Structure 1
Amino acid sequence: MRRPTPDSPSRSRRRGIPTVLALAALVLSPVPAAAAPGSTAEATGAAPHCASRTQPRVPGAERQQASCLDELTTAGTVASGHTDPADWAGLTPKDLAVPSGVPGVQIDGYFPDTSTTNTNHGWQHDAQFVIRLPDRWNGGLVVAGTPGNREQYANDRAIADWVLARGYAYAATDKGNTGLAFHRDGEAPGDAIAEWNDRLTQLTRAARATVARHYHRPPARTLVTGMSNGGYLVRWQLENHPELYDGGVDWEGTLWRADGPTLLDFLPPALRAYPAYAAGGEDAGPARDALHTAGYPAGSEFLWPYHHKVYWDLTQRIYREELDPGFDGATEAGTPYCTSGTPACDADYDYASRPAEVRQAVRKIALTGRIARPLITIHGTLDVLLPITRDSDVYARMVRDAGRAPLHRYYRVEGGTHADALTDMFPDRLRPLVPCHRTAFTALEDWLRKGHRPPASGTIALPAGADATTLLNNCALGGRGNVRTHSGS
């Protein structure tokens, strides 16, 4: 269940936690970490580079433990037990390089919460976080929420390793509830997802204060990034708490809006049509057309069997349970893989016909497009979990319609899909998005530091004849590889 978090325009009843005063703009430059006198944090695994230091308290944390590590990236944290590979399994290509040589301090802990889905460290406590403070700091802070319903280490390979190697401090949250039964958290429909937004806001404020205490100066720049549900958090934060951030990179963020489209609109048609498509015969053609109409692009058919088996059914049921638990009565999260016509079957779910309170639940978490800080969005054209025409294409229009297009760049990545690990299964058909995220991140840095606006929004073409190694290490946003296809952002 949620605990109150700092005041925001939409929820005045919340209590505040310590915040950092307005930050002066500073140049991002590497500086060595300094001691933080007077801290009472527990230090473990002391190493020579910071053995004499005590560590700062994380404001608002109910529990924390700090460790001085010779390696903050997964090149060392897997062996030292300061990450959990299960958190990031399936999110990155197997050959993604892991940087090393980043000593510093890692703080693990949790904020007050009453739910207990996160079992990391044996704590049985949600609202867990990790903060990493590299010895050689570039002056910046990157904060992230996790994709799916994963725990706080989920971004370690895809995002944390790379930004830590560039000198950023890094912080991530489990979003306040985890796992396939996340929908049990909260008192009303929509509460569990709404908590994700609160928890990232809470962590950002606490991490900024922790960074300031550790390095004896506030972060010069705070950037927010994440994939899938983490990308949704980026959008929401830049719409609702722009005062905390300088900008963000949204990697295929989930779209929530009361009038749709949302995954509750396009997943049920896939669940209805796919069995007939897979069975072949005279019904296969119309079923394929129904999937295309629902948003699953032509040319993505080779991905449908995997997504039907792994993603579509489960995703529909658990998010529908969170937002519309009354649809299936007392049954929790529906009936797995039910056929159309089965009573209360999610394959027949029709969001448009559901009661008004369902839209009210979605309205709690809805996006508006009214970003107030620079945002770069990337999304793969072969995403068949969150089809691009039903998600980021729509969000780009929302940003434009809100009059915020100058703050947005949107890149449709040809051949990209939702989970980068699938590129290992289909190296001749897919490209990973992780290098595109990194290119977008550096473009955001240049936008903020130097005023160099990124290339115009458009489609990043899949280079003809490029091999898997080239695609894993390169993704140009501009030039001949970028064809402008979307106006207004």
Structure 2
Amino acid sequence: MALAIRSTSPPARLAATAALAAALIAMTVSPAGARPASETSAHCARQTHLRVPGTERQKTDCLNELTTAGTAASGHTDPADWAGLTPKDLAVPTGVPGIQIDGYFPDTSATNTNHGWNHDAQFVIRLPDHWNGGLVVAGSPGVREQYANDRAIGDWVLSRGYAFAATDKGNTGVAFHRDGQAPGDAIAEWNTRVTQLTRAARAVVAQRYQRPPARTLATGMSNGGYLVRWQLENHPELYDGGVDWEGTLWRADGPNLLTFLPPALAAYPAYAAGGPQADQAHSALLAAGFPAGSEFLWPYHHRYYWDLTQRIYREELDPEYDGPAEAGTPFCVSGTPACDADYAYAARPADVRQAVAKIALTGRIDKPLITLHGTLDVLLPISQDSDVYAEMVRRAGRGALLRYYRIEGGTHVDSLVDAFPDRLRPLTPCHRAAFTALEDWIGRGVRPPLGHTVPKDPAADPATLLAGCPLGD
């Protein structure tokens, strides 16, 4: 969500972060086994025939390596865009030649500077030579650009033979809220851009391989997870299923980040200072949803995430709160006029809830969804987010379409695992386990384990936790 904002400030590497028929069955059993016709299997075959529908500009390149093992050197990704989202020891797959298409759809905003285009609605589509018949579509986390998922998601799905498409969501950066004509418009555009890219990517896949994708899967983390939820609720006809990695929850009546971040901003300084008010401040943080046992993560999140996230999303949805000021006053002390630490969502005018309603989720998914969320997430606390969304899905009568896994010891960004290897576990392998479970579910009818908390083995070393994430039987 607000989540995963790019930064190059200290400390060390962490601050550099601050900031998803028989043919289907065969594909699931052996993702690389569903081969295209011989006339389309040559390296970069049909490259000159590819046109992404609806684009204003596109650039098509034949690459010997589509993963970041090659694209980081060739300039076909932006390492700053995915910095800090994965553990430092995550392996990078190789041996995926194919076609990359970069481009943008018509848009009026210009926050994305990639390629010197200074144009939003940028996207990337990667088409491996050895295709398994599937397409994975992702929207970026936080307010990052189209390459943000390259390390965490793109590399791995490409190595399994999927075509991969990702979008910048139509606006980027900490001033994303300047886009749109009315509160909520900028975030609403994110959903439109994912739908647009999915339709276009399905068409270009058919051009490249001379048949449409046998399955289309949506996946993404944080804000990208929110996009998966919204797509399966609103455009299930485009997808076969999705994996939601700690998606952001928007509800007009709350909870949402505008309800739990202000109490954290108000209470944390007193907690950090110690003294007679510290216990009361600690209780306020717990009451806001920040889990007991996550205290070691609070200083980092207070410094890099809570304040900026609250201010820029509040500016998008409630710009009148601070009058003519833009995105409030950084790290203001409670009691300061128009301070976001004192923001009270429930007391704001009805038009604020109407703005949130524009982007709100309902739980009415219409395709299989697997959600995973770390129990030690202190940017989107699990009790205020995925726990609530899972209950929304059940109340909407769609519980049979959901598997929800609470990952013990997981937090919002996997780079923090490198700083606290004895306390945290990475979510990247859990996402991969969920993705393969989804493949089996929709491809072979093998239902994943019922939702539960996936325990963290206290005896497992960091290498073991990075190697896998068993979801149970």
TM range (shorter): over 0.9
What is the CA deviation profile of residues 129-167 of structure 1, one whole-angstrom value per residue up to 9, with x for unaligned ones?
000000000000000000000000000000000000000
Matched, 1:397 2:401: no
SS in 2 for 1:442: helix
CA distance in 2, matches of 1:53, 1:303: 47
Within 5 A, what are the aligned runs for 1:201-350?
Answer: 201-350=195-344
> Which of 145, 158, 161 in structure 2 is aligned with 1:164?
158
Within 5 A, what are the aligned runs for 1:69-80?
Answer: 69-80=63-74
Aligned counterpart, 1:62: 56
CA distance in 2, matches of 1:50, 1:460: 41
SS in 1 for 2:446: coil
Per-residue deviation, 1:53: 4.3
Assess if the C-alpha contact under 8 Å between 1:271 and 1:308 holds in 2.
Answer: yes
What is the CA deviation profile of residues 91-123 of structure 1, one whole-angstrom value per residue up to 9, with x for unaligned ones?
000000000000000000000001000000000
Aligned counterpart, 1:447: 441
Per-residue deviation, 1:33: 7.2
Per-residue deviation, 1:25: 6.8
What is the CA deviation profile of residues 38-79 of structure 1, one whole-angstrom value per residue up to 9, with x for unaligned ones?
xxxxxxxxxx93378424100001100100000000000000
Assess if the C-alpha contact under 8 Å between 2:25 and 2:444 holds in 1.
Answer: no
Assess if the C-alpha contact under 8 Å between 1:327 and 1:344 holds in 2.
Answer: yes
Amino acid at match of 1:205: R
Amino acid at match of 1:316: Q
Aligned counterpart, 1:30: 34
Assess if the C-alpha contact under 8 Å between 1:26 and 1:220 holds in 2.
Answer: no
Q: Point out where structure 2 has 5 or more consecutive residues left out of the alignment.
A: 1-22, 28-32
Within 5 A, what are the aligned runs for 1:118-129?
Answer: 118-129=112-123
CA distance in 2, matches of 1:373, 1:308: 37
SS in 2 for 1:136: coil
Amino acid at match of 1:351: Y
CA distance in 1, matches of 2:250, 2:443: 31
Assess if the C-alpha contact under 8 Å between 1:27 and 1:220 holds in 2.
Answer: no
SS in 2 for 1:137: coil
> Which of 68, 84, 88 in structure 1 is aligned with 2:82?
88
Shift in alpha-carbon separation, 1:51–1:475, aligned structure 2, 3 A: closer
Assess if the C-alpha contact under 8 Å between 2:171 and 2:179 holds in 1.
Answer: yes
Shift in alpha-carbon separation, 1:65–1:34, aligned structure 2, 3 A: farther
Aligned counterpart, 2:179: 185
What is the CA deviation profile of residues 287-312 of structure 1, one whole-angstrom value per residue up to 9, with x for unaligned ones?
11100000000000000000000000
Q: TM-score, normalised by structure 1?
A: 0.89
CA distance in 2, matches of 1:52, 1:80: 22
SS in 2 for 1:54: helix
Cα RMSD, aligned residues only: 1.3
Aligned residues: 445
Assess if the C-alpha contact under 8 Å between 2:26 and 2:34 holds in 1.
Answer: no
Regions of 4+ moved over 2 Å: 24-30, 32-36, 48-53
What is the CA deviation profile of residues 175-219 of structure 1, one whole-angstrom value per residue up to 9, with x for unaligned ones?
000000000000000000000000000000000000011100000
Shift in alpha-carbon separation, 1:90–1:124, aligned structure 2, 3 A: same
Assess if the C-alpha contact under 8 Å between 1:33 and 1:134 holds in 2.
Answer: no
Amino acid at match of 1:227: M
Q: Point out where structure 1 has 5 or more consecutive residues left out of the alignment.
A: 1-23, 37-47, 480-489
Assess if the C-alpha contact under 8 Å between 1:239 and 1:372 holds in 2.
Answer: yes
CA distance in 2, matches of 1:35, 1:324: 55
Asked which structure has the greater RCO (Cα within 8 Å, sep 6+), the reply is 2
Assess if the C-alpha contact under 8 Å between 1:311 and 1:385 holds in 2.
Answer: yes
> Which of 379, 382, 394 in structure 2 is aligned with 1:388?
382
Shift in alpha-carbon separation, 1:438–1:26, aligned structure 2, 3 A: closer
